[in-house]
Structure 1
Amino acid sequence: MFFGISHLVVPVTQLERSSALWCDVMGFAAVQRGDGFVDIDTGSASLRLLQVQAVEAPVALRLQVGDVLQSYQALLTAGLASRYAPMKTPQLEEMACVTDADGHAITLWRALTEDEWGFVPDLPKQGQWLAEAEDLLKRLLAHVPALFRMLARRKTTRVIEQLAQEAQSPVTRELVIKGYITASAKITRFRLVEPLRAEGINPADYQADFDYE
C-alpha cells in the first residue's frame, strides 16, 4: 500500500553548505540529521539533502514565496547564480530562478493578485447585458479586495441576471446597481456607499435595496 511521498532527495556535494542555505538563508528547519544526510522541513514537503561525491542529475525545485524579488536578491547575496530575474508569466504568476552550487534550479514563485493581472476578467454572464451595465459592474467590483473579487464577481453577476430574468429584461444599469447592493451581505452593505458615489450614484435612492433582507 502506498501512503505518499515522504521526502524529496536532493543530492549535494557539501552537506553543511547546502544545509546552511536551506536553514540559515531560507529559514527552514533541519528536523533530522544522519550519516550523510540532513532532512529539511519546508512546511509543505520534506527535503533530504544527501551527501554524494558528484551530482549526476541536478533537480529542479519550485519554492513558493511572499516576495519574489526580495527572496531572489537574498539568494543572490548568498552566492547563488541567477538563471532569470523576476518576471510575470502568462499563467498569472511572478517567477524568478536561481542555481545553487550543485547546479540545482530553485524557482521562486507566487500567484499574482487580480490587481496585478493587467486586465479585467470577463464577467461570468449568460444573459444579455447592455454595454454600459457591464462596464459599470466591472468598475464597481474593482473596489472589492482582490482576494475576494472572484467570488464577488460570480455571486453579483448571478444575482443581477436573476433580477433581469424576473424583469424579463436585458441587464441594465439600474439592475446592476440593485444587484450589486443586494448581492452583498446586509451587514457589509455600508461599504458599497463610496463606490456608488464614485460612479455618481446616490445611495439614498436605493435605500430599499440596502434594507433588503
Structure 2
Amino acid sequence: MFFGISHLILPVTDLEQSAGLWRDVMGFGEAQRGAGFVDIDTGSATLRLAQVQSVEAWVSLRLQVADVEQAYARLLAAGAISRYAPMQTPALEAMACVSDADGHAIVLWRALTEDEWGFVPELPKQGQWLPEAEELLKRLLAHVPALFRMLARRKTTRVIEQLAEEAKSPVTRELVIKGYITASAKITRFRLVEPLRAEGIDPDQYRAEFEYE
C-alpha cells in the first residue's frame, strides 16, 4: 500500500536562489521544474522547492557528506549562516549545521571512523582471556582498515575463543596469533605478515596457520 517517500517539500521565498544552492553549490541534479516549483534529485528522495510568499514553518534537513568541514565551509561561502561549527558528538558523529536564506536548517553529518573515536572498543569476548592476549589482539586489529575493523573484531574474537574451547584453556597469546591468522581469508593472509612482525612475531613459525583452509 505504501511505497516510500517520493518528495520532501521545502517552502522557499526565492526559488532560483534556493535551486542554485542545492544544484550549483551542493551538486544535486535538477530533476524537473514547473509553475512555482523545482524538483531536486538528492539521490535518495526528491526535494521539491516550492515557491511561497513567506515561510511559515521551518524545515530541518540532515545531509550525509564525505567531509563535514569542507561542506560547511562551502555552504558558508555561498551565503548560508552558521548555526554551529563542525563538532564531534557523543554518538560518534561529525556534525555541523547552517541555515539557508529562508531559515531552514541544513545539518551536515557523517559517522566517525574507529580511528577518530579516541578510544579502542572492547573485544566482544565471552571466555577467559589473559591480559597480554587481549592487548595483543587489540594491537593487531589496529592494522585492519577502520571500515572493516568491527567485522574483523567480531570474527577474530569468535575464532580465538573456539580455539581456546578446543584447547580447554583460557585465551593465551599463542591462541590469539593462531586465531588472528586463521580468521582471515586465506587469499588475504599475506597482509598479516607485517602486523605480526611489528609485534616481534615470526610469521614463518605459523606456516600451518597461513596454509589452513
TM-score (norm 1): 0.98
Consecutive unaligned residues of structure 1, counting only runs of 5 or more, are none
In 1: Cα distance, 2:94 partner to 2:20 partner? 26
CA shift for structure 1 position 210: 1.1
- State the secondary structure of the residue aligned to 2:181: helix
CA shift for structure 1 position 44: 1.0
What code does the residue aligned with 1:47 have? L
What code does the residue aligned with 1:106 have? I
CA shift for structure 1 position 166: 0.3
User: Which residue of structure 1 aligns with residue 148 of structure 2?
Assistant: 148
- State the secondary structure of the residue aligned to 1:55: coil
* 1:53-74 CA-partner distances (Å, limit 9, x unpaired): 0001010000111111111000
User: 2:185 matched to 1:191?
Assistant: no
- State the secondary structure of the residue aligned to 1:72: helix
User: Which residue of structure 1 aligns with residue 210 of structure 2?
Assistant: 210
CA shift for structure 1 position 34: 0.7
What code does the residue aligned with 2:131 have? A
User: Which residue of structure 1 aligns with residue 200 of structure 2?
Assistant: 200
User: Which residue of structure 2 aligns with residue 30 of structure 1?
Assistant: 30
In 2: Cα distance, 1:26 partner to 1:184 partner? 40
In 1: Cα distance, 2:104 partner to 2:85 partner? 16
* 1:13-58 CA-partner distances (Å, limit 9, x unpaired): 0101100100011111111111101110011111000000000101
- State the secondary structure of the residue aligned to 2:38: strand
In 2: Cα distance, 1:152 partner to 1:50 partner? 47
CA shift for structure 1 position 5: 1.5
User: 2:40 matched to 1:40?
Assistant: yes
What code does the residue aligned with 1:138 have? K
Which runs of 4 or more aligned residues in structure 1 lie more than 3 Å from their structure 2 counterparts after TM superposition? none
In 2: Cα distance, 1:189 partner to 1:3 partner? 44
In 2: Cα distance, 1:11 partner to 1:211 partner? 63
CA shift for structure 1 position 2: 2.4
User: Which residue of structure 2 aligns with residue 81 of structure 1?
Assistant: 81
In 1: Cα distance, 2:173 partner to 2:102 partner? 60
What is the count of residue pairs matched by the alignment? Answer: 213
Equivalences for 1:130-169 in 2 at 5 Å? Answer: 130-169=130-169
User: Which residue of structure 1 aligns with residue 96 of structure 2?
Assistant: 96
Equivalences for 1:170-189 in 2 at 5 Å? Answer: 170-189=170-189
User: Which residue of structure 2 aligns with residue 124 of structure 1?
Assistant: 124
CA shift for structure 1 position 3: 2.2
What code does the residue aligned with 2:3 have? F
TM-score (norm 2): 0.98
- State the secondary structure of the residue aligned to 1:184: coil
In 2: Cα distance, 1:2 partner to 1:160 partner? 46
In 1: Cα distance, 2:169 partner to 2:129 partner? 9
- State the secondary structure of the residue aligned to 2:126: coil
CA shift for structure 1 position 102: 0.3
In 2: Cα distance, 1:174 partner to 1:4 partner? 52
* 1:163-196 CA-partner distances (Å, limit 9, x unpaired): 0000000000010001001111111111111101
In 2: Cα distance, 1:28 partner to 1:4 partner? 20
In 1: Cα distance, 2:207 partner to 2:135 partner? 23
What code does the residue aligned with 1:93 have? E
In 2: Cα distance, 1:191 partner to 1:46 partner? 43
